[in-house]
Amino acid sequence: MIFLKSKKFNSLLLAICLVFSCQIKISFAQESENVNPLTTNFSHELVPAVRRNLTIREKETIEAKIIDLDQMAMGALSSGNEDQALDFWYEAINLSRFLDLDSELEIISKVGTIAWDKRRREDLSFLQERLLVLESQNSNKNEIKKEFLPQFIKAYDSIHYLDKSIALHTQNLSLVRENDDAILITETLDKLGELYLAKFDYYQAEPIYKQLLETARNNQDYLLESRYLQKLAPISQALVNPKNSVEYKEDLAQNYQKNNNLSALSRLKISIGNDYKALDNAESASKYYQDAFTLALSLEQYAIAGDALKQLGKLYQQYQELDSALKIYQELIKIEKNSYDFYGLMNTYDFIGTIYSQKQDYGQALNSFRKALAIANELEYKQDYFRQKIDQLNSLDL
């Protein structure tokens, strides 16, 4: 049970006064009105009509043509002609299959990245269809041959085919673990974590980042520790586990302190306060809001300092500590005036007016709502809302 009128809580008020005095899974396998240029019969003047091994000279000629097509495609793209650019690249991809698999996958990866950036869903579908064909031709027991795995990973990543990317990175993780390559294990786990987050699959992402966090701590890598804590905190929130979220954030706060990352620490403390509020731990919430305010003010982060006070004021309101909330909001007004935050100032007067109404001090409430209305008129925002508040008070038999 939390008693907000404790000596500890009152000392918190005094401290405030003292401070003032100083990616998504996307499936592209949809029916298209157009024929996929990568799965139709392809003929070209540089390719012999009779299937046979190409000579070195023929391969060099095709390679030169592919370079020319790529340059023409880039030129067309720069001119805003995306369709023509893709036509050039499709010709290049089709030609590259007569060289080797690496050449074709390399071009597909480049075109896939561009098609994704340009949001060309049909082209992404065409590329995916071709990749699936190539995968089936170069797999053994439903696994891509390991000598081609990096190229396929790059290609599937480029078109953001999340399920395939996850499957291939998982296969790759087994290989790098067999080789006991610590750096590649970390890189692969990191990529898998990002892919699961892109799918909003927090249950799969959480154990991966826990493993990465443990590795970072064992290696005393505080920067990576900070990164993984930043991942785990929102994951825990998404899994509706605020207690774990608090633990990760408090660890992250210690990390920021050790690395002197104070500019990020003040905002983080507000977030921890919000988590404690959700856990119905008012004393801890108020402590973190106060810490955030003190730190932000010392760093001249006035917007964050104001946010910390606003959260603290709302906390008092929630526990019906109305006089304490009024004191906080009065201090918040000073911050918002000094930082010319008129929108915030309007809302703070609204909070104050609401509290005075609850206390049945209708004169003070009316005065606060009028101040809010004056700002609302300047901002041309919420005028009707404040007029209604004022009219309701004027209609009372005071």
Instruction: Give the pLDDT band (50/70/90) at residue 308.
Output: very high
φ, ψ at 262 (rounded to 5°):
-70, -30
Residue boundaries of the structural domains of the chain: 34-137
Residue type, 227: R
Instruction: Give the pLDDT band (50/70/90) at residue 317.
Output: very high
Average pLDDT over residues 6-24: 41
Average pLDDT over residues 202-220: 92
- Is the pLDDT score of 115 beyond 60? yes
Instruction: Give the pLDDT band (50/70/90) at residue 294.
Output: very high
- Is the pLDDT score of 14 beyond 90? no
- Is the pLDDT score of 19 beyond 70? no
Segment 51-108, tens digit of pLDDT = 888 899 999 999 999 999 999 999 999 999 999 999 999 999 999 999 999 999 999 9
Longest dimension (CA), the chain: 101
Distance (Å, whole) CA 121 – CA 116? 8
Instruction: Give the pLDDT band (50/70/90) at residue 15.
Output: very low
Which of 28-37, 76-85, 115-124 is least confident? 28-37
Which of 24-33, 47-56, 146-155, 331-340 is least confident? 24-33
Average pLDDT over residues 210-239: 89
Q: What percentage of the chain carries pLDDT values higher than 70?
A: 91
DSSP structure class, residue 54: P
Structure tokens at 112: 């896939």
| 8 Å CB contact between 288 and 272 | yes
- Is the pLDDT score of 4 beyond 90? no
* Region of residue 324 (left: phi > 0; alpha: psi -120 to 50; beta: else): alpha
Within 13 Å of residue 123, how many CA atoms lie on the same side as its CB? 25
Which of 37-41, 67-71, 122-126, 144-148 is least confident? 37-41
Which of 109-113, 138-142, 152-156, 188-192 is least confident? 138-142
**Mean pLDDT of the residues in the chain:** 88
pTM, rounded to two decimals: 0.62
φ, ψ at 140 (rounded to 5°):
-140, 120
Q: What percentage of the chain carries pLDDT values higher than 90?
A: 71
Number of Cβ within 10 Å of residue 144's Cβ equals 22
Residue type, 369: F
Instruction: Give the pLDDT band (50/70/90) at residue 157.
Output: very high
Which residues, including other chains, have CB under 8 Å from residue 376's CB and lie 6 or more apart? Answer: 346, 382, 383, 385, 386
